[in-house]
Amino acid sequence: METSIESRPLTYQSGILQRHSENPIIAPGDLPTPCSSVFNCGAVRYRNRVLLLLRVEDMARDNHFHVATSEDGVNFQIEPTPIDYPLRETETRFLENRFDMRITPLEGSYYVTHASWLAGYGSCIGIARTKDFHSFEPVGELSVPSNRNAALFPEKIHGRYARLERPQDIDGSGRIWISYSPDLIHWGESRPIVLPVVPWGRCKSGIGAVPIKTPRGWLCIYHATSKNCAGENYYLGVMLLDLERPEKVLAAPRQFILQPETPYECMGQVPNAVFTNGAVVMPDDTINIYYGGADTRVCLAQTTLPNLLDFCLSEK
């Protein structure tokens, strides 16, 4: 007897990542206060736990950021009060929203990069410093618009700080660039990160998680998009950058590592989107990649550091 399509078990075969069986691991109903969505969280190891800075949109669609912590990286305790994040001078006049925080451990502190949407001007990059995720100190003023998707490298390179970012065109397109700074305030010597043109990344690309240092290079998970008849799909890819000259791409497979397939990735306020701001290497070398599913919920995909590195190097 032939099995109908409706009765067949769903299987998903996108890339080398394994979706966690408990996905989505954090949904809007899990928050201690009413919210419309929770997604695109920064992630880091902090005091032997996984810490997330959750982007939470309330019922007015204003963004707040809640700290969530977990021993196993799957089951999280969410602090009921959002963090008290400082305003810069420019933000006091023009800020509409902040979004997409990434967390970099660096020089004994944790640096949070974020995007600020300024009314009438567009998106700018901001940086703040913390040691405890309760008190945050601004680092300089915002970048000029339009720029977003910023991630600091977790150490200086030839005595300078480095960050990956995405300067953005007026139509919303853009590509990954790298910039350098002597003090985290003045940035320059900007160069594009030249990736192969792939069908799933024709529209735009931007860095995802903070770069992971390996003996073979900086392992970077990034996102890219392509348009289809129904809209725009977000994918995750991986690349390897040179340790000493990270503007140089050592490897970038043409295959993506994750595409939107499941209902929790395809249905939400931004359909067909998988988007990561944070990946954590666990003590057993498992990489936990925390990603937003359809800009509505937090999901988890996993592999191991050796597997992801081998995949990255398998195609040159």
Say which residues have a Cβ less than 8 Å from residue 286's Cβ, sequence separation at least 6.
302, 303, 304, 305
Number of H helices, E strands in the chain: 3, 21
Indicate the pairing of strand 274-281 with strand 286-293. antiparallel
Instruction: Count CA atoms closer than 13 A to 172's CA, side-chain side.
Output: 7
**pLDDT tens over the chain, length 316 residues:** 444 444 455 555 556 899 999 999 999 999 999 999 999 999 999 999 999 999 999 999 999 999 999 999 999 999 999 999 999 999 999 999 999 999 999 999 999 999 999 999 999 999 999 999 999 999 999 999 999 999 999 999 999 999 999 998 777 789 999 999 999 999 999 999 999 999 999 999 999 999 999 999 999 999 999 998 888 999 999 999 999 999 999 999 999 999 999 999 999 999 999 999 999 999 999 999 999 999 999 999 999 999 999 999 997 5
Which tokens go with 266?
A: 């395809």
Least Cα distance to 208 among 78, 67, 70, 113 occurs for 113
Domains of the chain: 26-313 (2.115.10.20)
